[in-house]
Amino acid sequence: MRVLLVDDEEELVATLAERLSFRGIDADWATSGEDALRKVETQTYDLAILDVRIPKMSGLKLKKILERKCPAMKFIFMTGHGSEEDFKTGSAEAGAKYYLVKPIDIEELIKKMNEIIQG
């Protein structure tokens, strides 16, 4: 499984990528929507894990662009803002079945990753 993590908090995505790699998951990361779009031009990813609030381009907008560029890609959203209920509503509108509230529990993340990849 190849994963792209996108969050403007570099320490968070770098740490998550490292923790996933320790578990045999190939993970890259980006700190902006623009950087993420550059990465998908040269790499293929099975899954993108997107922060809802990233500067210049929201995670929801980035998802829509990635869906056009990478139709097979699956998505998980993460957020540290708002209530869980607000996030459920917003992610449902964006067609996102899977979401996590920060701080991210690595075991919960891996569980959701496996669920979404297995369909």
CATH code where residue 74 lies? 3.40.50.2300
Q: Could you tell me the pLDDT band of residue 84, with boundaries at 50, 70 and 90?
A: low
| pLDDT digits 0-9 by tens, 53-76 | 888 988 889 999 999 999 999 999
Q: Looking at 8-22, 61-75, 87-101, which range is the least confident one?
A: 87-101
pTM tops 0.75: yes
Residue 65, sorted as left (phi over 0), alpha (psi -120 to 50) or beta, turns out to be: alpha
Residue 68: which domain range? Answer: 2-118
Contact 83, 91 (CB under 8 A): no
Number of domains forming the structure of the chain: 1
